[in-house]
Chains A and B, each alone.
Chain A
Amino acid sequence: MSESATATTQDVGSGSRDAGGHGSRAADLLAGPLGRNLGLVIALAILCIVGVATAGDRFAAFDNALTILRLASVIGVVSVGMTFVIIGGGIDLSVGALVALASVWATTLATQQIAQNVHWIVMVITAILVGAGAGLINGVVIAYGKLVAFIATLAMLAAARGLAEIISNRRTQIIQDRDFLAFFSGDVLGIPTLVIIFALVAVAGWVLLNRTTFGRRTFAVGGNAEAARLAGIRVQRHTVKLYVLSGVTCGIAAVMLMARTTTGSSTHGTLYELDAIAAVVIGGTLLLGGRGTIVGTVLGVLIFTTLGNVFTLNNLSSSAQAVARGVIIVLAVLLQMRLANGQTRTRSSRSPTPATDAGSAAGGPGGPAGGGSAVPGAPAAARPGGAAGGPTT
């Protein structure tokens, strides 16, 4: 981490911008996903070591790795959508309920009948459309109705699960279509289809966030909505798109859950919102918006799933697991904050001109310490600006 920070700042210091080519690409990689998520990688590694130590070969087996990934896949897909919403400055509490609603809607007798006549893809499309539609409602209510996201999606959480209960009559709906189940429960070259879907969604999410105008605008809207608006970005429209995206990932997750359980049910996806938010937040995404990564979110999901796996292999109760989960959230976020602070501290101590506030802050502690004379505060406040006077003004 510190290495990566040094690398970038030295680049700046020496002023050899064009020497960038290869050297900075390597530095970019270190400063990029891996470097920034070092804390998470360490946490995951520790979990794996604990797993090997306590469960030995049962944990280290290839099949077990696939089990972990398969368990991670559904919540992982939801978390990718959640990452976008949170980076964009919002929150979506309705994801679990949307998964339930989409799974129920896609498995009603009527839908299954059509699917039987046409193709099982009808069920998939239904689930995704239901998710997108509910997301659209969330987005419109938040962006144009100016309702706080927390409240709007809380309302959707209640309403969507209720609607799912009404549609299903509180019964579990069995999926009859063998082709559907065969397709989704199968594997490609030994990798389960569900895991492949998760991988595809994560990669698509990464590309969307980092390589498209949509992703860039998401950062802008979450980072400073007013600046984004005055820069000509249609913030409201963008906000709607974010919730639709989250709804779509819920639809995909619903299909995956339907395949895994061979049912659609109004009890699917219970508490997914909390799992997804936890994964996103320990993944280093700022809950206030404006900053975050897909890689961090994926690592966050893997950490929680691996934790569950280690506990299960050691025959520990799910209650103990819940406690460990809570502890991990706090530890991971604390660690993340430390690392992030270290990074900014390195940055600002090297930067020639700190923001104006930094100057007065530096003067702050200097003043009272100086007692009678106010002079000692002066050099502290003046130095950073003065030294840099040449290159930066």
Chain B
Amino acid sequence: MTAPLLEMHGIVKTFPGVRALDGVDLDVRPGEVHCLLGQNGAGKSTLIKVLAGAHQPDEGSISWRGEQIVLGDPQAAMSLGIATIYQELDLVSGLTVADNIFLGRERSRFGITRPAAASRAASELLARLGHAEIRPTTEVGGLSAASQQMVSIARALSQDARLIIMDEPSAVLDNEEVERLFGVIRDLTTHGVAVVYISHRLEEIRQIGDRITVLKDGRTVATGLPARETPTGEVITLMTGRTIEYVFPPRRSGPAMDGAPLLEVDGLGLGGRFAGVSFGVRAGEIVGLAGLVGSGRSEILETVYGARHATSGTVRLGGRRLRPGDVGAAVAAGVGLAPEERKSQALLLDDSVYRNISISTLGRFARAGFLSGGAEKAAARAQVEALDVRPADVTRIVRTLSGGNQQKVVLARWLLRDCRVLLLDEPTRGVDVGARSEIYALIRDLADRGVAVVVVSSEIPEVLGLADRVLVIADGAVIAEAAADALDEHRVLDLVMEGTAAHGGAAPMKTQFEGDVA
């Protein structure tokens, strides 16, 4: 057995209210492709950031070629030879390929850049990657995602990287491009470069991986599994079965579950992102959309809301068609959205709680445009008390609240509006464990009061526990639909991974299932 290149032991990283990493072990050998698996929220991203020097661990040790090291900042990681290729590529789109590869380490003499030398060196690197067709003088912004990825890899090579971390590199590539990427990875590893490869696609891991480490809830649950031999079922079992049990409120059964749907989505499509999505939500029902990041679930929600302009299909509320691409109309008709990126898409962070709550309902507190501050604050206060936002101070600046309380403020906004349809995108992202159950209870309570709720979450147990009915989304299409109690986490993950393995194929089959699948 070769000596490990990198060893991490007992890594712990906490953020206020969240223990993102809770004892992670990882060892990577030179020349291997080490796959990192885990569900969303398992701690993969945090681990990568620790490796890249962007986060400092609170506990644990890291050693590199047998020596203890501290990765104090990204430069430290880079100078050791650890390069990270993030999902959102960090390239400067206005600069040329060569400029990007040598960014920060420009080829120069006496402060004068030497573009010719840089171009030559860039050409060599790209040729070594088998991508000589990428010209060093082209602007990066005009390149395809695959080519941009190659530029990132070339940049890592130019820094003499010994370990390259790739965060879901195949997410933006088509099948042929993935094959070429694998060619590059194989070539790198024969030269002794180690790759930490993150992907949700088990097929890829079988093809390219050597060993697997599985993370769950911030812990390493298995490491050093042989990538080719480990049965799929075993891998999925390792990834699932949360150790933290969330308390989901009981579902209500009964007459509310029949009757005409309040929200009807019919054949909805958004060019290139998803197509042919149809579902209905009755008043009092919670429908969950389960799928991986990039499957199109958030886009579906945003298109229903009108934040994106649907290219096909219709959305009806109570029989009346909503104008596509018109958020104002959707809100007026009684639809509300709690978006995925709470801070950038929902909140006025430097404004007070009550102003954030009343922003969609201002007209109610105004006469001829003049606001009645007292009525507005009183209404906001009533919501804050009903939802138990802490501290219960409506003049507090929203930025200073915890994630859970910020989410409650967003929900309070729509509660105040008495909306009939509530679209929730990752309602518990960044919400700590304690507050989660409260949010769940709140959502159930809303449904019981007759609101039609659609929940998107990358955490499958959350969708299963909360929703009455679940749609499984993969690659921009609904691949399955079933009552939530007819599904389990294992089955959903199985479906999702199958669906994604058929990536690029024709319109996926719609499966209906019944009874127990366990």
Contact = CB atoms under 8 A, between A and B. Distances in A.
Interface of A: 8, 12, 15, 17, 207, 211-214, 216-217, 219-220, 223-224, 226-234, 290-291, 347-348, 351-356, 358-360, 363-364, 366-368, 370-372, 374-375, 377-378, 381-382, 384-385, 388-389, 391-393
Contacts of A211: 370-371, 373
Contact of A12 (B330, B391, B403): B391
Given A220-B348, A368-B70, A378-B58, A392 B371 contact: no
29 contacts: A8-B395, A12-B396, A17-B393, A213-B363, A213-B371, A216-B355, A220-B359, A224-B344, A224-B347, A227-B347, A227-B348, A231-B413, A353-B17, A353-B401, A356-B15, A356-B18, A356-B403, A359-B16, A360-B15, A370-B70, A371-B70, A372-B68, A374-B56, A374-B58, A377-B56, A377-B58, A378-B14, A385-B15, A388-B16
A232 B327 contact: yes
Contacts of B331: 231-232
B60 interface: yes
B346 interface: yes
A128 B430 CA distance: 50
B362 A354 contact: no
A211 B373 CA distance: 8
A290 B59 contact: no
A206 to B, nearest CB: 13
A372 B57 CA distance: 12
B402 A393 contact: yes
Nearest to A222: B348
Contacts of A353: 16-17, 400-402
A379 B405 CA distance: 24
Contacts of A348: 400
B432 interface: yes
B348 A223 contact: yes
Nearest to B400: A351
B401 A230 contact: no
Given A232-B328, A353-B402, A227 B346 contact: yes
Interface residues of B, number: 63
Interface string B331-363: 110000101000011111111000100011011
A207 B369 CA distance: 11
A375 B59 contact: yes
Contacts, number: 161
Contacts of B14: 359, 378, 381-382, 385
B4 interface: no
Given A231-B331, A368-B56, 5 more contacts: A217-B359, A220-B351, A358-B16, A374-B56, A382-B58
Contacts of B16: 353-354, 356, 358-359, 381, 384-385, 388
Nearest to A368: B72
A228 B347 CA distance: 8
A193 to B, nearest CB: 27
A354 B363 CA distance: 32
Chain A interface main SS type: helix
Interface in B371-408: 371, 373, 390-393, 395-397, 399-405
A260 B111 CA distance: 58
A8, A367, A377, A381: which has the most chain B beta carbons within 10 Å? A367
Contact of B55 (A219, A354, A363): A363
A112 to B, nearest CB: 35
A223 B362 CA distance: 17
Between A207, A233, A356, A358, the greatest number of chain B beta carbons within 10 A of the residue's beta carbon is seen for: A356
B3 interface: no
B435 interface: yes
Interface string B57-87: 1111100000010101100000000000000
Contacts of A377: 56, 58
A384 B18 CA distance: 13
Nearest to A212: B369
A63 to B, nearest CB: 38
B307 interface: yes
B256 interface: no
A14 B344 CA distance: 31
B390 A393 contact: yes
Contacts of A389: 17
B116 interface: no
Best-buried of A230, A385, A388 by chain B (most CB within 10 Å):
A230
A86 to B, nearest CB: 16
Given A348-B400, A354-B400, A216 B362 contact: yes
Nearest to B431: A393
Residue among A15, A211, A216, A389 with most chain B CB within 10 A: A216
A231 B305 CA distance: 11
A136 B30 CA distance: 64
The 6 closest A-B pairs by CB, nearest first: A232-B331, A385-B16, A367-B56, A368-B72, A378-B58, A351-B400
Contacts of A364: 56
Contacts of B399: 355
Contacts of B319: none
Contacts of A224: 344, 347-349
Interface in B316-332: 327-328, 330-332
A362 to B, nearest CB: 10
A177 B350 CA distance: 51
Given A219-B348, A220-B359, A359-B15, A214 B390 contact: no
B339 A212 contact: no
B366 interface: yes
Contacts of B395: 8
Contacts of A216: 355, 359, 362, 371
Nearest to B438: A393
B349 A374 contact: no
B434 interface: yes
A363 B58 contact: yes
A203 to B, nearest CB: 14
Interface string B431-463: 010110000000000000000000000000000
A213 B366 contact: yes
A347 B347 contact: no
A224 B348 CA distance: 6
B396 A231 contact: no
A196 B348 CA distance: 36
A231 B362 CA distance: 11
Given A360-B15, A367-B72, A378-B59, A230 B337 contact: yes
